[in-house]
Amino acid sequence: MPIPADILEDPYEFQKLLGFTITEWTHDLCELHQPMHKGLGNRYGIPHGGVYASLLDTVMGYCGCFTGSKDNLKQAMTLSLNVSYLSRPKGKILIATGQRIGGGARTFFAEAKLCDETGEFIASASGTFRYRSN
């Protein structure tokens, strides 16, 4: 089911550059899909590790910032990010799933995993995020 238009923000420039879409976003959970394309590749032709880190960082940031309305934005910045690289994709779509696992009024903790549509487990991450004050 598509995310309602009144929840999702317009794509930002880095999102447009990579090409991912947010496919699920609810309280403490986010999922995004990144189609594979040539521009993501390293010199070996597989996605660069920085792409994996960016997707994992992004999905964790979003999972802690759900408000249910794009008129009531909550934003966060990354304080720490730890990524474990496990495999390389076999499919054509990278799927990042993030979950908020704790925190409080100013910071939160999240975990994420990156797979492809074949189920290949590619990378995992954990992070600490601080809510931005506007």
Residue 57 located in a structural domain? yes
Residues in the chain: 134
Residue 51 located in a structural domain? yes
Measure the CA–CA gap between 38 and 47, rounded to whole angstroms.
8
Asked whether the beta carbons of 64 and 100 are under 8 A apart, the reply is: yes
Residue 2 located in a structural domain? no
Copy the structure tokens of residue 130.
Answer: 């601080």
Q: Rounded to two decimals, what is the model's pTM?
A: 0.94
**With a cut of 50, which residues of the chain have pLDDT below it?**
none
pLDDT at residue 134, as a whole number = 67
Residue 8 located in a structural domain? no
Q: How many domains does the chain have?
A: 1
pLDDT at residue 2, as a whole number = 66
Measure the CA–CA gap between 128 and 24, rounded to whole angstroms.
21
Residue 78 located in a structural domain? yes
Residue 3 located in a structural domain? no
pLDDT in tens, 34-66: 999 999 999 998 999 999 999 999 999 999 999
- State which residues form the domain around 94: 13-131
What CATH code is carried by the domain that includes residue 92?
3.10.129.10
